[in-house]
Amino acid sequence: MGTTKLILAGAAVLTMIASSAFADDMTGMVTRIDRLNNTISIQQTQKGTVGGSAGGAGALQQYKAKDAAMLDAVHAGDRVSYTATDTDGTGTLTKLQKQ
């Protein structure tokens, strides 16, 4: 019984860590904007010095904008900082700011 509780507690902690990490401010470069569908693709910029390269490119992510007006201030090629949440496997931008 104690092992089961430990495993469940560990799974809960990992879930909280993963969801909070996705909600942090991230930086990247806008690669594509689809204003008709309210979506934006952002090439995430890796943070830190893991592997000795601080400027490497991360994963390309597509997000749905929470508000269509968020997309008006940015264009493809712009560097941005943003915050996103994950709802049922779909990323949703909650904040988008041109750097």
Work out the percent of the chain whose per-residue pLDDT is above 70. 67
**Alpha helices (runs of H) in the chain, residue ranges in sequence order:** 2-23
- Which residue range forms the structural domain that includes residue 45? 25-98
DSSP per-residue codes, 41-69: EEEEEPPS-GGG-SS-EEEEEEEEESSGG
Work out the percent of the chain whose per-residue pLDDT is above 90. 53
Residue 44 has pLDDT above 80, yes or no: yes
16 lies in some domain: no
Report how many domains make up the chain.
Answer: 1
58 lies in some domain: yes
What is the predicted pLDDT for the residue at 8? 60
Residue 10 has pLDDT above 80, yes or no: no
